[in-house]
Amino acid sequence: PNEMRKILSLYPETEKVASFGQLDIYQIKENFLKPKIFVPSQIVYSEVKLVDLIDFKLPFSLNDSVVFYSHDLTEGQKEKVELMANEIVATSSAIGKRGFLSDNPEVDFQKINPTEYKATVKNAQKPFFLTFSETFNNKWEAYINKTRISKENHLKVNGFSNGWLINKTGDFEIEIRYSGQKLLNIAYLISGTSLILSFIVLAVNIKRRKN
């Protein structure tokens, strides 16, 4: 509990709303809530655990920051994040400044259904990270012009959600889909077809017996 309170103290956007014994309930203040899909203006790359970040006194804000933890990334992903990060937090060193992610593109999105989203990107001038606030899963896939963004560019953000490194510039659309839903739909179709066929066979057998 004390460790979690330390973590929450990093974020002034959170507030405690209720307590039940040792259970404290927090919520994010409404004016700090981010959309489901957004582009962060601050990126932090950390080689320490979340609870240890408090010792670095970073200017965190849930409203415009994301954190990439080294233990969540492959070696190739670490290199990409380090190049774009605003802050580098190493285990035994101070914060190292890096180039700031400026000129972020404008991003709007539409929810098609719970497993499919469409993001519209305008005026992308350089690579950027697109953050998707759903629990990280490799079955979440992002597509540009029907071409899937590589798995190496699909990263875990803030220790739990999805992020993609987008290298395309200009105006374009990004489709985000949960690929596991296709298998479920096929399974439902097979099950439904089998059930219908079973009823047909049963009806034919009953009719034959009556005759």
Say if 194 falls within a structural domain.
no
Q: Are residues 101 and 22 in the same domain?
A: no
Which domain range does residue 22 map to? 1-32
Q: Are residues 44 and 141 in the same domain?
A: yes
Q: Are residues 15 and 115 in the same domain?
A: no
Q: Are residues 131 and 152 in the same domain?
A: yes
Q: Are residues 17 and 42 in the same domain?
A: no
Q: Are residues 116 and 171 in the same domain?
A: yes
Both structure tokens of 65 = 């920051």
Domain total of the chain: 2
Q: Are residues 9 and 110 in the same domain?
A: no
Q: Are residues 142 and 152 in the same domain?
A: yes
Q: Are residues 11 and 50 in the same domain?
A: no
Coil, strand, or helix at residue 210? helix
Tokens 């489709």 identify what position? 175
Measured at the alpha carbon of residue 88, what is the angle toward residues 65 and 169, in degrees to the nearest 5?
A: 60
pLDDT tens for residues 68-121?
Answer: 888 899 999 998 888 887 655 554 444 444 444 556 899 999 999 999 999 999
pLDDT tens for residues 130-179?
Answer: 999 999 999 999 999 999 999 999 999 988 899 999 999 999 999 999 99
Q: Are residues 23 and 38 in the same domain?
A: no
Identify whether the C-beta of residue 116 lies closer than 8 Å to the C-beta of residue 177.
yes
Q: Is the pTM of this model over 0.75?
A: no
Say if 187 falls within a structural domain.
no
In whole angstroms, give the CA distance from residue 108 to residue 134: 17
